[in-house]
Structure 1
Amino acid sequence: MNRPYLNTLLTIVPLILAGCGPYTHTVRQVPHARQEKELLLNESTISLAAGKHYRTGRLHTFLYGKHYRDAWAAPVPVRVLDLKREKGGLTPVKQGGSRQTLNLWLADSAGREYVLRSVDKEPAVGLPESLRASYIAFIARDATSATHPYAALTLPPMARAIGIYHTRPELVYMPHSQDLGEFRDTFAGMVAMLERRPDGDQSDAPWFGSAENVKSTRSMLEDRFRDNDTEVDAEFFLRSRLFDMLLGDWSRHEGNWRWAEFGLEKGVKYKAVPRDRDNVFYKLNDALVPMLFMATKQKEHFRTFRGSIRNVEALNRSGRNLDELLLAELPRETWIQEARTIKALLTDEVIENAFRELPDTIYALTADRIIEKLKSRRGQLLRVAEAYYESLSREVDIVGSDKHEEFAVEFLNEGRVEVKAYKLKDGAREKAVFRRVFDPEETKQLNIYGEDRFLFSGEGASQIRIRVFGGAGEDRYAIREGLGTKGKVHIHDSTYGNVYPDGGKAKVRKNNNPPVQTLDAKGMLLKYYLD
């Protein structure tokens, strides 16, 4: 079946059924207070299923997939949240923003913030209001059954074992309590994950690095692009990203990270804090309709968690923008070493114990098969690391900052190219901020974005195409006499105050109205999905 036909079929059929219904939905498991008393096991525990509506008939399951329906529909004991006593007392602050998850922000008496995140999801919020009770909305919501409702509980022990930061979700039930105030109608009767928000002062939270300030991706990138005294711990980020691949987490866009800030002698260093692990151990492609949908390749990054890791480019699509920026300096050897470290630290015992964090019923239903697949994927991690390294290395972006810098490009033997970037102070090199040697067997093109000075030297002939994008200021380009750069160096800049190489050593394209993304920090930010 060809792809255009599939696209048409999967578009028309839901539209035909769109008027059917209405299909109502709530992420609250106990909409009415009177039901709550019947389900309480005692004052502190209640027995609930996170999504009993995902248990469907045989025909629906045949067409749309078994997914994790049994886990969603299984009642489990859940701790009842008492806002007056929890964490010394929590006060609701505001409803948070999210694509599909219902969030309530809470604060303790010291101002530390927590978030209550609904276990069930509401993806239909992205549809026009007229369709939110339609069959289309029903199918969008039903796809939530492809996610494991309690997967997040298994991740902290594994993250600790490999030495990366993590959230610490706790499974709770938010009762019909007057303590919710104005938020009662929205959040009362909801099974949720309660966790500390990775934001602001986390000096008492070692799982966030005990950082005195945790920032958003927007704030981190603003600092990174504006000031070359800002560093990002690329190796630490790489370890988190390899862990993502191991878990099959295909949703690692910019909004799913926070950044722990640490002071340096001059400037700051950021270390990655992953959050929002809603799509680990994803199980989609197990029935007719999901298979047809995946065959259209409209959402190719929706990856089913299998024993083998397939198509790492698709798996990492949502995270690629950050990967291209933050991992550009790391050579192959670092990727291999980080993969080996994870393999060594994530032992069978660590994995098996991590899944004991699941409720007993859910462990019995789901743990064995996931553990088996996770161990199999662990054995493939070196191959996966090298495959993704090679994908990122084909075309590499080297991005400077708004501050003064020099980019020194040296052509080595065998067509290799070394790029070094230096912070300048009063025209002199103060410190190196980037260094990597590129091999033409791996890299076909380098894109350098920066300001001030670009120097080309060496004895070899370039086999790698190099494109340089000068910033908004006045820039100087110099190419050593006799260097074999013909056809390989392309300079993109304006006519204003720049000094270009003579003698046709580079192709110069002058443009006084360049794309804003090539000019400065503010423009660079437009490339990213930011909260």
Structure 2
Amino acid sequence: MTVRFALLCLLLPAVSCSRHPYFQPDARVDYTTPLPAGADSARVTAGRHYRRGPGGRFFLGRHYRQTWAQPVTLPVFNPQTAVPGGLRFGKIGGGFQTISMTLVGADGRSYALRSIDKDPYRTLPKVLRQGFILTTVRDATSAGMPYGAFVVPPLAEAAGIPHTSPRAFYVRPDENGLGSASERFRGKVVLLEAKYEGKQNIAGPVAGALDLEESEDVLEERYASPKHQLDGEAYVRARLLDLWLGDWDRHEGQWSWAAYAQPDGHIRWKPVPQDRDQVFFRFDDGVISWIASKLVAKFRTFRPQYESIEGYTRNASFIDERALADVPRASYLRAARELQLRLTDTAIVQAVQQGLPPEVYRLEGARLIATLKARRTTLPQAATDFYRLKARQVLVAGTDAAERFVVERLNDTTTVVSVYTLPVNPQNPAAALYYQRRFNPADTRTVMLHGLRGKDEFMVSGNVHRSPMLEVYGGPDADLLRDSSRVAGLRKYTRFFDTKRNNTVEPGPETKDCTEHSVRSHAFDRDGSGR
């Protein structure tokens, strides 16, 4: 008998692959008794199907199984009274793991209704959608804290970061007020929260905004015109809150952006975090889950000490690269220290007490409070590690307008990158400046300049011993590279990527001509779609 076969024999009873159906038939503890027509609350469990015996807990981990199976009292969802004026069916959502839909209030505001429990069935290849593999992947949902999202709003409020305010409900087994989605939600524990997408949803923490858009739309506008800018300072504060909460699932789809007019006529987009499904994650406490955590860095357990900053931030690498491009080290540390002051002991205790059902607070409250306090203490170090990770390779992208990129290799510790809109008024060049950042080669290995569309100019100067590598991507239109810089050593520190034709290159000793007949170098993913 091989070791692999022996492990499989031990694993199969642990995961109970023959259990059908997998999920609890109804969240109510006593679901065989009809729920009275006028009932305003019910005794429910978020997921008692995650209970495991000693073998299952040993192999798969203890996770939050006790919390998922703990009976709690939740209000019964009533579309007519959940918000003033009631809610009506909007559309069914497209989530891969949660059952979700959009509801519309009497005032036109949109609300998201989604199940707290998840089913990763559709995220797996068809060949794996059966047996113990599917059961094991489904079981991993128990690593998430089912009520964690309800702890976040008061903490975000204390931190001065816009937030949603979700509420938990139980949906009646005979509910008919959710349109064609009614059957899918019956008997489930759900989360209801206002959506911050579209002008009709401008209210509360984003009152006064000109617009509300999803990340893909905001990024399209950002790269179309220098008029649109992302608020990197606000974004880094929000990301440090994510790290503190252990929220590793912060990809670009987890953000909305609020637009605010600036005195210079520009539009500044401020981030609005959404979807707090993975805060306080607890994963690597079983044999199989421990091995999985070593193979998949993003599955980081929420502990008093920060684990892998790279793991915590992997899912957000695309949006991080774009939103943090102009944020220096000092801003990371300033934001961390400000959060330390704002997130007081009182704020932490009140948030945990208010956010968790009383029965769950008795199980997890003390540990959660202690962990949050410990992570607050070392938040500046986490911020430093986060900065170092994001500073290794920095993306500086222009827009579809014509721009001038000026790179000054001033000395061995400072390279300044500035971007100006064209034409530049010689009498007032600052009026055209819309990006500037100083780079230290001790932190930054590579700076990538993307001109995108427009006839762009790239001017590189300076004579130094050390400097970040410069990768210049001209874009589809005719561009100019003028490189008079010099960096000691044999390597060439300015690399120009574009097509062979329609560009002007004035090379220097550091210039490496990487042009080719292909247009591959023009590819730039603007919105996260890979295009």
Question: Would you say same fold, with TM above 0.5?
Answer: yes
Matches within 5 A, 1:159-238: 159-175=156-172, 176-201=174-199, 205-238=203-236
* Among 519, 522, 528, the residue aligned to 1:519: 522
**In 1: Cα distance, 2:469 partner to 2:7 partner:** 42
> Which residue in 2 is equivalent to 1:53?
49
**In 1: Cα distance, 2:329 partner to 2:508 partner:** 37
Report Cα offsets for 1:347-386 as digits up to 9, x if no partner: 0100000011211001111111011111111111111111
Query: Residues 267 and 444 (structure 1 numbering): CA distance in 2 closer, same or farther, change over 3 Å?
Result: same
Give the CA deviation at 1:457.
2.6
Greater shift after overlay, 473-482 or 350-359?
A: 473-482
Give the CA deviation at 1:406.
0.5
> Which residue in 2 is equivalent to 1:463?
467
SS in 2 for 1:37: coil
Query: Residues 238 and 107 (structure 1 numbering): CA distance in 2 closer, same or farther, change over 3 Å?
Result: same
Give the CA deviation at 1:20.
5.1
Long gaps (5+) in structure 1: none
> Which residue in 2 is equivalent to 1:331?
328
Give the CA deviation at 1:136.
2.0
2:42 partner letter: I
Query: Residues 426 and 444 (structure 1 numbering): CA distance in 2 closer, same or farther, change over 3 Å?
Result: closer
* Among 514, 522, 529, the residue aligned to 1:509: 514
> Which residue in 2 is equivalent to 1:352?
349
Task: Check conservation: 1:255, 1:529, Cα contact below 8 A.
Answer: no
> Which residue in 2 is equivalent to 1:309?
306
2:285 partner letter: D
Query: Residues 203 and 140 (structure 1 numbering): CA distance in 2 closer, same or farther, change over 3 Å?
Result: closer
Give the CA deviation at 1:28.
6.2
Give the CA deviation at 1:190.
1.5
Task: Check conservation: 1:29, 1:191, Cα contact below 8 A.
Answer: no
* Among 352, 377, 380, the residue aligned to 2:375: 377
SS in 1 for 2:151: helix
Alignment of 1:138 onto 2:135 = yes
**In 1: Cα distance, 2:508 partner to 2:140 partner:** 61
Identity %: 32
Task: Check conservation: 1:17, 1:135, Cα contact below 8 A.
Answer: no
**In 2: Cα distance, 1:27 partner to 1:434 partner:** 54
Give the CA deviation at 1:281.
0.6
Query: Residues 261 and 503 (structure 1 numbering): CA distance in 2 closer, same or farther, change over 3 Å?
Result: closer
* Among 307, 317, 320, the residue aligned to 1:320: 317
Query: Residues 210 and 362 (structure 1 numbering): CA distance in 2 closer, same or farther, change over 3 Å?
Result: farther
Report Cα offsets for 1:265-323 as digits up to 9, x if no partner: 5342111111111111111111222123223x1x2110011110022112211111211
Query: Residues 104 and 27 (structure 1 numbering): CA distance in 2 closer, same or farther, change over 3 Å?
Result: farther
Give the CA deviation at 1:14.
7.5
Aligned length: 518
> Which residue in 1 is equivalent to 2:478?
474
Report Cα offsets for 1:47-80 as digits up to 9, x if no partner: 1111111122222122211111111111111111
SS in 1 for 2:505: coil
Give the CA deviation at 1:220.
1.0
Task: Check conservation: 1:263, 1:269, Cα contact below 8 A.
Answer: yes
> Which residue in 1 is equivalent to 2:267?
268
Matches within 5 A, 1:244-259: 244-259=242-257
Give the CA deviation at 1:98.
1.1
Task: Check conservation: 2:394, 2:446, Cα contact below 8 A.
Answer: yes
Long gaps (5+) in structure 2: none
1:423 partner letter: T
**In 1: Cα distance, 2:341 partner to 2:6 partner:** 47
Task: Check conservation: 2:244, 2:375, Cα contact below 8 A.
Answer: yes
Give the CA deviation at 1:481.
7.9
Alignment of 1:291 onto 2:287 = no
**In 1: Cα distance, 2:272 partner to 2:177 partner:** 31
Query: Residues 80 and 481 (structure 1 numbering): CA distance in 2 closer, same or farther, change over 3 Å?
Result: closer
* Among 143, 146, 150, the residue aligned to 2:147: 150
Matches within 5 A, 1:17-56: 21=18, 23-26=20-23, 29-30=26-27, 35=32, 37-38=34-35, 43-56=39-52
Give the CA deviation at 1:191.
1.0
2:268 partner letter: K
> Which residue in 2 is equivalent to 1:93?
90
> Which residue in 2 is equivalent to 1:62?
58
Task: Check conservation: 1:166, 1:208, Cα contact below 8 A.
Answer: no
Which 4+ residue blocks in structure 1 deviate beyond 6 angstroms?
8-19, 31-34, 481-486
Task: Check conservation: 2:28, 2:45, Cα contact below 8 A.
Answer: no
Report Cα offsets for 1:214-263 as digits up to 9, x if no partner: 21111011111111111100010000100111011111111111111223
> Which residue in 2 is equivalent to 1:106?
103
Query: Residues 527 and 154 (structure 1 numbering): CA distance in 2 closer, same or farther, change over 3 Å?
Result: closer
**In 2: Cα distance, 1:346 partner to 1:490 partner:** 45
What TM-score comes out, normalization by structure 1 length? 0.90
Greater shift after overlay, 331-340 or 430-439?
A: 430-439
Give the CA deviation at 1:449.
1.1
Matches within 5 A, 1:66-81: 66-81=62-77
Task: Check conservation: 1:321, 1:528, Cα contact below 8 A.
Answer: no
Task: Check conservation: 1:202, 1:210, Cα contact below 8 A.
Answer: no
What TM-score comes out, normalization by structure 2 length? 0.90
**In 2: Cα distance, 1:19 partner to 1:290 partner:** 16
Query: Residues 219 and 144 (structure 1 numbering): CA distance in 2 closer, same or farther, change over 3 Å?
Result: same
SS in 1 for 2:405: strand
Matches within 5 A, 1:390-409: 390-409=388-407
Task: Check conservation: 1:165, 1:209, Cα contact below 8 A.
Answer: no
1:496 partner letter: R
1:519 partner letter: H
Task: Check conservation: 1:415, 1:461, Cα contact below 8 A.
Answer: no
Report Cα offsets for 1:19-68 as digits up to 9, x if no partner: 95253234763599974635x69721111111111122222122211111
SS in 2 for 1:339: helix
Query: Residues 506 and 70 (structure 1 numbering): CA distance in 2 closer, same or farther, change over 3 Å?
Result: same
Greater shift after overlay, 401-410 or 492-501?
A: 492-501
SS in 2 for 1:178: coil
**In 1: Cα distance, 2:7 partner to 2:311 partner:** 21
> Which residue in 1 is equivalent to 2:238?
240
**In 1: Cα distance, 2:331 partner to 2:115 partner:** 38
Root-mean-square deviation (CA, aligned residues, Å) is 2.9
> Which residue in 1 is equivalent to 2:385?
387
Report Cα offsets for 1:88-110 as digits up to 9, x if no partner: 12111221011211102111123
> Which residue in 1 is equivalent to 2:338?
341
**In 1: Cα distance, 2:405 partner to 2:8 partner:** 50
Query: Residues 312 and 174 (structure 1 numbering): CA distance in 2 closer, same or farther, change over 3 Å?
Result: same
Give the CA deviation at 1:213.
2.2
Task: Check conservation: 1:31, 1:188, Cα contact below 8 A.
Answer: no
**In 2: Cα distance, 1:287 partner to 1:19 partner:** 16
**In 2: Cα distance, 1:151 partner to 1:17 partner:** 27
**In 1: Cα distance, 2:508 partner to 2:493 partner:** 14
Task: Check conservation: 2:217, 2:527, Cα contact below 8 A.
Answer: no
Task: Check conservation: 1:411, 1:461, Cα contact below 8 A.
Answer: no
**In 2: Cα distance, 1:53 partner to 1:26 partner:** 6
Give the CA deviation at 1:154.
0.5
Give the CA deviation at 1:427.
8.1
**In 1: Cα distance, 2:393 partner to 2:7 partner:** 35
Task: Check conservation: 2:460, 2:485, Cα contact below 8 A.
Answer: no
